[in-house]
Structure 1
Amino acid sequence: MTSIQQDRYPVYDQLRSNTPVLAEPSATSLRTYTTWHLTRYDDCLTALRDPRFVHEERKYLAPEVCEEPGENISSLTSSQRNWMLFKDPPDHTRLRSLVQRAFTPKIVQNLQPRMEHITTMLLDEMEAQTEVDLVQAYAFPLPVMIIATLLGVPMQDREQFRAWSNILFQSLDFLVSDTTWEQASQAVDALRAYLRDIVHERVKQPQDDLISGMVRARDEHGKLSEDELLDNCILMLAAGHETTVNLIANGVYLLLREPEALVQLQRDWTLLPSAVEEILRYESPIQVTTRFVSEDVQLGDVTLKKGDYVSPWLGAANRDPAKFTEPDRFDITRDPNRHLAFGQGIHFCLGAPLARLEGQVAIKAYFQRFPKSTFVGDQAWAFKPSVLTRSLAHLKLKVAP
Structure 2
Amino acid sequence: MPSDTLLARISDYVNRPNPYPLYAELRAAGPVVRQADGSYLIGTYHDIAALLHDPRMSADPRSRSARAPSEETVKPPFLRLDDPEHHRLRTMAMRPFGPPHSPGRIDAMRGEIAHITRELIEALRDREQIDVVDDFAYPLPITVICRLMGVPREDESLFQGWTEALVASADIGPEEDTTERDKAAIKARQEMGRYLVDLAEQRRGRPTDDMLSAFINEPDPALQLSNEELADTTILLFIAGHETTVNLITNGVLTLLRQPRQLDRLRREPDLLPRAVEELLRYEPPVHMRERIPLVDIDHAGATIPKGTSVVLALASGSRDPKRFHEPDRFDPTRPDNEHFGFGSGIHLCYGAPLARIEAETALGALIPHLSTARLVQDPPPYRQNAMLRGPRHLPVHR
Query: Given the two structures, how large is their TM-score scaled by the length of structure 1?
Result: 0.90
Indicate the SS of the match to 2:105.
helix
Give how far 1:214 is off. Answer: 2.1
2:131 to 133, 137, 155: 133
Aligned match for 1:167, one of 165, 168, 175: 165
Give the secondary-structure state (helix, strand or coil) at the position aligned to 2:124. Answer: helix
**2:97 maps to what in 1?**
103
- For 1:3, the equivalent position in structure 2 comes to 9
Aligned to 2:51: 47
Contact 1:246/1:285, CA 8 A, preserved across alignment: yes
Given the two structures, how large is their TM-score scaled by the length of structure 2? 0.90
> Counterpart in 2 of 1:83?
77
The separation in 2 between residues aligned to 1:122 and 1:245, in whole angstroms, is 14
Aligned match of 2:117: 119
After the TM superposition, which of the residue ranges 344-353 and 49-58 deviates more from structure 2?
49-58
* 1:329 match: secondary structure: coil
Give me the whole-angstrom Cα distance separating, in 1, the residues matched to 2:28 and 2:232.
Answer: 41
Cα 1:268/1:60, change in 2 over 3 Å: closer
1:185-208 Cα offsets, whole Å, 9 max, x none, are: 221121122112111122121111
Query: How far apart in 2 are the matches of 1:137 and 1:283?
Result: 21
Moved more, 175-184 or 257-266: 175-184
Where does residue 31 of structure 1 map in the other structure? Answer: none
Question: Relative to 1, partners in 2 of residues 1:162 and 1:114: Cα closer, same or farther, differing over 3 Å?
Answer: farther
Distance 1:109 1:345 in 2: 24
Instruction: Return the offset for 1:249.
Output: 0.4
- Name the SS of the counterpart of 1:37 in structure 2: strand
SS at match of 2:320: coil
Q: Which deviates the most, 10-19 or 286-295?
A: 10-19
Change (3 A) 1:185 1:205: same
Higher helix share: 1
Deviation at 1:82, TM superposition (A): 4.3
Cα distance per residue 1:199-240 (max 9 Å; x no partner): 112212111111122224474434522210111100111222
Q: Kindly tell me: are residues 213 and 42 of structure 1, through their superposed partners in 2, closer, same or farther at Cα, counting changes over 3 Å?
A: same
CA distance in 2, matches of 1:136, 1:67: 33
Q: CA deviation at 1:374?
A: 1.9
Tell me the equivalent position of 1:182. Answer: 183
Aligned-residue offset at 1:106: 1.3
Where 2:274 maps in the other structure, the secondary structure is helix
Instruction: Report the CA distance between 1:140 and its aligned residue.
Output: 0.8
Moved more, 221-230 or 389-398: 221-230
CA separation of 1:307 and 1:25: change in aligned 2, threshold 3 A? farther
Q: Aligned equivalents of 1:108 and 1:59: distance in 2?
A: 34
Work out whether 1:393 is the aligned partner of 2:385: no
Q: Is the 8 A contact 2:70 2:182 kept in 1?
A: no
- 1: CA distance between counterparts of 2:336 and 2:8? 33
Partner Cα distance (1:58, 1:159) in 2: 32
**1:85-112 deviations in whole A, cap 9, x for unaligned?**
0111111110011111111141111111
- Contact kept, 8 Å, 1:98 with 1:217, in 2: the verdict is no
Name the structure 2 match of 1:16: 27
Secondary structure of 2:202 counterpart: helix
> Where do 1:2-401 residues align within 5 Å?
3-4=9-10, 5=13, 6=15, 7-26=18-37, 34-56=38-60, 58=62, 68-69=69-70, 78=74, 81-104=75-98, 105-174=103-172, 177-217=178-218, 219-368=220-369, 370-379=370-379, 381-399=381-399
Select between 86-95 and 154-163 the one with higher mean Cα deviation: 154-163
Q: Percent identical across equivalent pairs?
A: 36
Q: CA deviation at 1:55?
A: 2.2
Note the C-alpha offset of 1:36: 1.1
Q: Which moved more, 1:263-272 or 1:168-177?
A: 168-177
Residues 388, 218 of structure 1: alpha-carbon distance in 2 compared, 3 angstrom cutoff: farther
Aligned-partner SS, 2:382: strand
Q: Distance in 2 between matches of 1:319 and 1:334?
A: 13
Work out the CA distance in 2 between the residues paired with 1:313 and 1:343: 11
Q: Distance in 2 between matches of 1:196 and 1:348?
A: 26
**SS of the residue 1:185 aligns to:** helix
Contact 1:218 1:225 in 2 (8 A): no
Number of residue-to-residue matches in the alignment: 381
Q: Distance in 2 between matches of 1:284 and 1:66?
A: 28
Unaligned runs of 5+ in 1: 27-33
Distance 1:53 1:262, change over 3 A: same
RMSD of equivalent CA atoms: 2.0
Secondary structure at 1:290 match in 2: strand
The letter for the 2-side match of 1:117 is: H
Is this contact kept in 1: 2:52–2:346, CA < 8 A? yes
Q: Aligned-pair distance for 1:364?
A: 0.4
| Alignment partner, residue 29 of structure 1 | none
Query: Which of 349-358 and 387-396 deviates more?
Result: 387-396
Deviates further, 370-379 or 119-128: 370-379
